[in-house]
Structure formats: structure tokens, C-alpha cells
Amino acid sequence: MANQLQESGVTGSVSSRAEGKALWGGRFEGALDPRVFRFNQSIQVDSRLWLADLRGTLAHARQLCELGVLSREDFGRLESCLLNWIESAQKGELHPFFSQSRFFEFEDIHSLLETALVEALGDVGKRVHTGRSRNDQVATAFRLSLMDEVKSLKAGLLQVLDTLIVLAETRGSAILPGYTHLQRGQPVLFGHWALAYVEMFQRDFERLDTLSPRLRQMPLGSAALAGSPYAIDREAVARELGFLGICRNSLDAESDRDFCIEIASFSAIGMMHLSRLAEDLILYCSKEFGFFTLGASVSTGSSLMPQKKNPDVPELIRGKSGPVFGQLQSLLVMCKGLPLAYNKDLQEDKSATFGALDTFRECLEVMSVFLSNLEVNGEQMRSAAETGFLNATDLADYLVGLGVPFRDSHDFAGKLVRLAMDRGCELGGLKLQDFQGVCPLVAADVYEALTLEASVGRKKTLGSTNPERVKSALSEARERFIRMKTE
Ligand code: ARG
């Protein structure tokens, strides 16, 4: 960056302020120290607000025309210029300034835009900022651009959800151990496991919907902090830009960054979910578990150990959750001591917010690629579920069915586990006399009660791993998914 700035001539005593490119040069004498210029600069991060700033500027200019600040003719020229740039930006073609070294002479994207307008249209460009401050301009462009970003996050969530639902639909009837404390607990259906993550990501999706109405409030028209002396119809501007309403108080409008904190929080919670899924995947891909085989296109090898196939993708997802939690923390700390209204601290909002959501979006994308390349080893899952006494609770419940109080049946089942351990077998390997030695009521049907199918089938409650329940949970999840997608 320093090199680029040097090449562009932003060194020594030269400054964009001295050259008239800054938006605030009038009351200053002499040049801005280049180190301070660079320190103050945000264009590297906020250039991605270009499209949003063009749209915000057009809506503001329309009001200036209504109010007679811009003549119809001037507005017409301005409108066609802005629409032209908007159309190009939508195709990914940016203004020529973006590829020129002078790009680095601008303090921020708003300075670049104003210079671009002045160079293209002369005085008309100089009138555009009437009744507006960068404070409401930046907050508006930032919210507008996040309103778009939110759509792509929804798409990312839907992709992961779809992959998980397909896994449940295709391999859902396999049975694997369910764990507590990472110790084998009770058998569950693989579909039940996948649907647990579906729940998490569907909650994330809902969270986006609930934060959206607060994000979609427009600050424009609050000017620097006190409001604008031009009778801008803020409601009309908000409608034109797709906001739901306007920020009600000009001081709050300039300095409110709750929407950043909410998006970072949403991203952090989503990353926590991805990270938990990643942890299960890493464990289950290990030889010790062997429930999944890593797809060749989504795993990496070792430079030294020829046999290795590593789950780098979920490990990186787990690792990248930390910085996202940090970005949420940064935003909270950034805001906590700020007096009203705008303070330059707030310029740090973009790197933290975009950083959090970019990481989340990328992790969602690679997680769905990773999941769709996963081979599910039903046999391995089953044999793990068949060992380690996962049916001990089923035995206790079988005894309850014979009239034994649960506390006693728990004790009897525990004794039988002990006996089986001594014999080096599972509960199903004990003889009928062994069962009857502990509890004389046990009959031959105990063996059927101890199977994996009986264990999952015995569960009755809504939300349980009973195959019928899982089947309906799956079709409900699929229906919710379709609704989310078509909304
Ligand atoms: N680049 C600045 C930001 O992102 C623009 C706002 C500057 N406002 C000001 N009063 N200096 O926050």
C-alpha cells in the first residue's frame, strides 16, 4: 500500500487536500502529513460501497431537484451519469478511477465519487452534497450494501441446509451412537443427527429475518448530526432505496451501529454452529470413529506422511470462527464509549462487519462442498452403536415395562452391564439365566428389546429419534426449506 501511495504521488508534502480532492480543505493551510493521510484513509475497505453510494446519491439528488437546488436539466445529466455507473457496477465494471493509481489519493469512496462527478459534470457534481454529510451518506450506503449482502448469506445458509437435508434423505436410516460427554450414550438415526444441524442453520436463517427490519432504516437526511435545512422528503428517499422506514432521530442515525453488531453477532452464532458441525466431522472422519470417509477433492495430504488424508476444511472453519467472534467483540468495544454523534472510531465498523460476514459466507460455501463430498459409512456407525452398552437404558426401560421401579431397573441394568463386561460381551451376549439371576422377571423377548431397531423404535416423544418421528421431522424440515427459499 505504501508503495502504491508513493507511486501515486501521495507522499512528502503532497496531499489530496492540497490538490482539492479532499472534501474538507477550505479552512486548512498547507499539506496534510502523508502518514496522517494514510492513517485517516478508508478507501481500501469502503470502496465496496461504490454501488450503494451511487444509489444513495441518486436518491438524494432527486430530492435536491424537487427542491429546486438542482435544475431539471442538471438533474437529468446527473441521473444519466449515475445510472450509467450503476449499470456498469452491477455488471462488475467499476469507474476508471478504481484501476488508476490515483485511486489511492482519495480518502474514501465518498470523496472518490464526488471527484468523479465533478470531473464528469462540472458544477453539477459540486452541488450534489448539498444538505448531506458524509456521516449520513456513509451510514446509508453501508446499510444499503448490507441489505444486499444479507441476501447472499441467506443463499449460503440455504445451500448448507439443502446439503444436510439431502444427507438425511439419502442416508438418514443409518444408526450411529449418540454421545454425551463424548461417551457413547444411546443409538440415534443418522437422519436425526443431520436434522440437529438443520435446526441450528434454520434458526440462523430466522435470525437474519428478525434483524432485517432494524437494518432497513434509513439515516439519510440526518446530515451531519442535526438534520438538514433542506426539506428533503426522507420517507420518499427511503422508499426509493428499499428501506422500510427512516431513522427517527438524527443524532442516533449518525452513530447507530447496532446493525453491524447484529450482523456480526448473527455471523458469530452461525460460525459457532459451523464450528460444532466441523468438530463432529473431524472426529467422525478419524480412523477411531470411521463414520465418514473424506472425499478426495475436499481433503489434503501430508508433506511427510504418505498415508495421510486430512480434514483441513472443517479444521479451517473451526479456526476461522475465532476471528469472527473477535470482530463482534471489536464492534461492541468500538461503540461502548462513544459520545453522540459521529466519531471517526466508527470508520472501523466496515472492516469488522464485512470481515465477519465474508468469513461466514465463505465457510458456508465450503461447508456445503465438503458435506456433499462425504461418504457415509453406515456399517461403521452401526458397529460402533452395537458396542459400548448403548442399550443399557433400553434394558432398564424393558424392566420398567415388567413393573420394576425405574431406580431398581437402573440398578439391575447396571449390574448386568458389569457382568457383561466381565464376560467380555455386550448385553445381548448374556444368557437368559444371567438376566434372570439379576431380575427373575426377564423373559426371552429381552433380546429383541436390546436391538438397535428396538431402541430407536421405543422412543415415542415428538422430536425424538424414533424413525417415524424422524421421517416427519425430515419432511417438515424440507417444507420449511422450500418456504425459506421461495420467500
Ligand atoms: N470514511 C468515513 C467513515 O467511513 C466517512 C465519514 C467521515 N465523516 C467525518 N465526519 N469525518 O466513517
C-alpha cell at 196: 440437529
Name the band, by pLDDT with cuts 50, 70 and 90, for residue 17: low
Interatomic CA distance for residues 70 and 127, integer angstroms? 7
How much of the chain exceeds pLDDT 90, in percent? Answer: 90
The atom of ligand 1 lying closest to the CA of 347 is: 12
Return the closest-CA partner of residue 54 out of 84, 77, 33. 84
**Residue minimizing CA distance to atom 12 of ligand 1:** 347
Global pTM reads 0.93
Q: How many CB atoms neighbour CB 17 within 10 A?
A: 18
Whether the predicted pLDDT of 266 surpasses 80: yes
Q: Is 134 in the pocket of ligand 1 (CB under 6 A)?
A: yes
Give, for ligand 1, the residue of 47, 113, 347 to mutate: max count of ligand atoms closer than 8 Å to Cβ. 347
Give, for ligand 1, the residue of 108, 112, 136, 334 to mutate: max count of ligand atoms closer than 8 Å to Cβ. 108
What is the rounded average pLDDT of the residues 305-327? 94
Question: What are the beta bridge partners of residue 376?
Answer: 292
How much of the chain exceeds pLDDT 70, in percent? Answer: 96
Whether the predicted pLDDT of 10 surpasses 80: no
Interatomic CA distance for residues 312 and 478, integer angstroms? 30
Q: Tell me the pLDDT tens digit for each residue of 422-438.
A: 999 999 999 999 999 99
Q: Please tell me the distance between residue 318's alpha carbon and the centre of ligand 1 in angstroms.
A: 34
Rounded to 10 deg, the angle between the 349-372 and 312-336 helix axes is 160
Residue 5 pLDDT: 39
Across all residues in the chain, what is the average pLDDT? Answer: 94
Q: Tell me the pLDDT tens digit for each residue of 144-179.
A: 999 999 999 999 999 999 999 999 999 999 999 999
Q: Please tell me the distance between residue 321's alpha carbon and the centre of ligand 1 in angstroms.
A: 29
What is the rounded average pLDDT of the residues 77-94? 98
Residue 11 pLDDT: 39
Which residue matches cell numbers 469507474? 95
321 is catalytic: no
Give, for ligand 1, the residue of 47, 138, 260 to mutate: max count of ligand atoms closer than 8 Å to Cβ. 138
The Cα-based distances of 290 to 147, 199, 285, 287 in angstroms read 42, 25, 5, 5
Q: Is 114 in the pocket of ligand 1 (CB under 6 A)?
A: no
181 is catalytic: yes
**Catalytic hit among 99, 181, 297, 303:** 181
Contact 48, 218 (CB under 8 A): no
pLDDT: which is higher, 4 or 207: 207
